[in-house]
Amino acid sequence: MPSSTHRPLAISTDRRRFLTMAGAGTAAAAVRPVLGAVPAEATPASSSARRSVEVSSGWAFHLGKSADEAAWDEVDLPHTWNAFDAQDGGGDYYRGTGWYRRRVQVPAQLRGRELFLEFGGAGQVTEVYVNGALVGAHAGAFGRFRVEVTEALGSGGTVAVKVDNTSRPDVAPLAGDFNVYGGLYRGVRLIGTARSHLDLLDSGGSGVIIRQRSLTDALAVVEVTSRVVNPAGTDVVTRVIDRRGRTVATCTSPAAETVRQVVDISRPHRWDGPTDPYLYTLEVSVVREGKVLDAVAEPLGLRTIDIDANLGLLLNGRPHRIHGVNRHQDRADQGWAISREQTVEDFALMREMGVTAVRLAHYPQDGFVYALADRHGILLYSEVPYVGGVPSPPGSNDSPELTANLVAQAREMVRGLGNHPSVAWWGIGNELGDTTHVNANLAAIEETIKAEDPTRHTSYAHLSGFYPNESGVLDHADLSGYNRYDGWYAGTPADFGRWADALHAGDRARRLGITEYGAGASVLQHQEWPGVAGGLDTSAPHPEEYQAYHHSQLWPQIAARPYLWGSFVWAMFDFASDARHEGDAHGLNDKGLVTYDRSTCKAAFYYFRSAWTRTPTLRLVERGWTERTEAATTVHVFSNADEVTLRLNGRVVGTVAVENHTAAFPLTLRTGINRVIATAFSNGRRVTDEANWTL
């Protein structure tokens, strides 16, 4: 099968302008790629003796169970063997075994050190061999993991990696409306450390766990737990460094296998969302007689997050509006094998739209995502891949092996990613049934997460309207999340507010959020506003205008209910789901506000940009409906201006006040080409949009 290839980062004219513009308002001017400045994970401190080299290029790849066959292709990582067959529909993409092989020569600067191979992510069960000997294995598609190879690799050898994305009853996810891509879809590094070092085999973590114990304007108290391998004769030195490079707190303790230190930071500068995402650096070093043997640097953001059943989410004691979206980690023709530059572009699109929170559906994502969220002040909902919504194998939820795997993946998520201040919620599951075994698994995940991190809220995402509320699945986590599709799969958009108010009135203590809401849209299918809801009817169109209408009706209802602790559009980007066939596409869930290849922002994107930002915005909703057969039509314009003026074929049609970020103009088109131009003044700047429609 074809391997994944990376194209140069393609940014549209609008997107490039947003990435580079200056002086066009705070939201626009702040968005710039910061790839070089953002650490993807705990990074070796400059004083550390730790070294690493990338081994992500020059791999040989073979698709099949046996590694002895002659047919091998040359690939670079990230790579997946499902880049194309998992997006063409039919639900029949390859789920099986692939092999990677590479000669790894240990460079001089790493020789004589403890050696580890680090895998950013592999889908989904992995075995690692060095010179034919099995040296490690990992079960789970999403977490970073490491394998110790000091003796096996020596000064160099052949590394072979077997990866298998076969659906299994003992490894989550069991099911889900998305693809599980096979392969080494993130990078690989070879790390060399001193014999005494911070534990690299600590469930994918850095060996350092940071937990904020208290925070006031006068003092922050932070507990740092460090796990040290071969600690004899060493000390653990922890420093907190501010943005200007000044050490503001320090603590030294004799090393042990586990060292707990309490660090006080006077007059702390808070991490305060997009307006002020202030980050300290917390550096932990293993030191012997003044010499730094090993050290890592972690992000430290000081903030409080509270959730009130009536006031919603409070960031640093103040109500914080959640403008949330869901994000999968895939791209057209690449699957999960995406680059950091593309992740930067995704964040630029989300920030342009005014996003303040992202639910990482339905699994932990690359550490680079969390680092970007830290830097930009965006809250994250990070979820264990315990997913329902589509049938899972019969009896699979009662497997003790599955429970153990869910617990391991939950621990891996928290230890690997829990130092990031952007993480506000740990998700324990999504859209599962109400069996005894499902509840037992959710309880085990909840217990694991709370033992690892009692400082954050947990949440469960319930498929409202499909499973009964009394099933018990909502009783494990701190928070209740609901996936609602009023006006798409059933009912009308107006049903949402009535449902939410009745639920809130019936249980005032329950903290309610909306983990999913949305509607599909094809940029190639159009109808007069509002269009019709396509739902799961494979013969029905998914007109772009209906999605635009749908979100324009849902958001005002959400905004009017401050008791909701958050809401997340499903989804920010179209994503592949090979079993689907809807709208104009096979193998695609088209509920994204941006197309799968990121080339087109749909009309609804501009509704949210109008509602969520002060960036001057104006967009013709029907702009892409270029071929017309009826003269009578109504044009809709999304904007955050007070009023919009429309011209048709050079003549002013009128000026209309904007209500709910929408202006509407009835028109009669003439035969042939019609030029439509909308203009407005928003936030002191003239904005315009235009289209040519042929009748």
Q: What confidence tier does 31 reach under pLDDT thresholds 50, 70, 90?
A: very low
Query: Which of 21 and 601 is assigned the larger pLDDT?
Result: 601
pLDDT at 464 > cutoff 90: no
- Structural contact between residues 136 and 97, judged by C-beta atoms closer than 8 angstroms: no
At 140-191, the pLDDT tens digits run 999 999 999 999 999 999 999 999 999 999 999 998 999 999 999 999 999 9
**Known catalytic residue at 431:** yes
* DSSP reduced 3-state for 21: coil
- Structural contact between residues 424 and 358, judged by C-beta atoms closer than 8 angstroms: no
Tokens of 184: 């080494």
- Worst-scoring range by mean pLDDT, 6-10, 133-137, 411-415, 639-643? 6-10
Tokens of 138: 């990992």
pLDDT at 396: 72
CATH fold for domain 208-300: Immunoglobulin-like (2.60.40)
pLDDT at 481: 97
CATH fold for domain 632-694: Immunoglobulin-like (2.60.40)
Average pLDDT over residues 614-619: 97
H helix runs in 13-96, sequence order: 13-20, 26-29
Average pLDDT over residues 538-555: 95
pLDDT at 390 > cutoff 80: no
pLDDT at 394: 67
Taking each helix axis from N to C end, the angle separating 495-506 and 544-559, rounded to the nearest 10 degrees, works out to 30
Q: What confidence tier does 380 reach under pLDDT thresholds 50, 70, 90?
A: very high
Assign domain 318-615 one CATH number from 3.10.310.50, 3.40.50.11710, 3.20.20.80, 3.30.56.10.
3.20.20.80
At 347-376, the pLDDT tens digits run 999 999 999 999 999 999 999 999 999 999
At 476-532, the pLDDT tens digits run 999 999 999 999 998 999 999 999 999 999 999 999 999 999 999 999 999 999 989
Average pLDDT over residues 530-549: 91
Average pLDDT over residues 449-467: 90
DSSP state letter for 681? E
pLDDT at 437 > cutoff 70: yes
> Percent of the chain at pLDDT above 70?
91
Domain map (residue ranges) of the chain? 43-195, 208-300, 318-615, 632-694
Nearest to 487 by CA among 540, 538, 541, 531: 531
Q: Where are the beta strands (DSSP E) in 374-437?
A: 379-383, 423-430
Beta strands across the sheet bearing 312-315? 305-308, 312-315, 318-319
Mean pLDDT of the chain: 91
Using alpha carbons, list the distances in angstroms from residue 673 to 368, 620, 649, 694.
47, 17, 9, 4
Nearest to 638 by CA among 614, 658, 667, 668: 658
Planar angle of CA 588, 617, 343, nearest 5 degrees: 45
Planar angle of CA 295, 292, 108, nearest 5 degrees: 85
Average pLDDT over residues 27-37: 31
Query: Which of 611 and 533 is assigned the larger pLDDT?
Result: 611
Q: Do domains 43-195 and 318-615 have the same CATH topology?
A: no
Nearest to 658 by CA among 618, 694, 689: 618
Average pLDDT over residues 598-623: 98
pLDDT at 397: 77
At 625-672, the pLDDT tens digits run 999 999 999 999 999 999 999 999 999 999 999 999 999 999 999 999
Average pLDDT over residues 293-315: 97
Residue 250 bridge partners (DSSP):
239
Nearest to 135 by CA among 157, 109, 105: 157
Q: Please tell me the distance from the alpha carbon of residue 161 to that of residue 75, in angstroms, as a whole number.
A: 13
Average pLDDT over residues 591-601: 98
pTM of the predicted structure, to 2 decimals: 0.93
150-175 burial code (b ≥16 CB/10 A, e <16) = bebbeeebebbbbbbbeebbbbbbbb
Stated length of the chain:
695
Average pLDDT over residues 97-126: 96
Give me the catalytic one of 114, 352, 412, 431. 431
At 38-64, the pLDDT tens digits run 444 566 666 668 899 999 999 999 999
pLDDT at 478: 98
Average pLDDT over residues 391-408: 84
pLDDT at 67: 74
pLDDT at 561 > cutoff 50: yes
- Structural contact between residues 459 and 474, judged by C-beta atoms closer than 8 angstroms: no
Tokens of 156: 């160099």
Q: What confidence tier does 70 reach under pLDDT thresholds 50, 70, 90?
A: confident
Tokens of 115: 């050696």
Dihedral of CA atoms 303, 308, 310, 311 in degrees, nearest 10, equals: -10
Q: What is the DSSP string of 499-561?
A: HHHHHHHH-TTS-EEEEEE----BTT---STT----TT-TTS--BHHHHHHHHHHHHHHHHT-
- Structural contact between residues 368 and 375, judged by C-beta atoms closer than 8 angstroms: no
CATH fold for domain 43-195: Jelly Rolls (2.60.120)
pLDDT at 535: 85
Nearest to 575 by CA among 324, 332, 351: 332
DSSP state letter for 183? B
pLDDT at 325 > cutoff 50: yes
DSSP state letter for 658? -
Average pLDDT over residues 267-273: 98
pLDDT at 273: 97
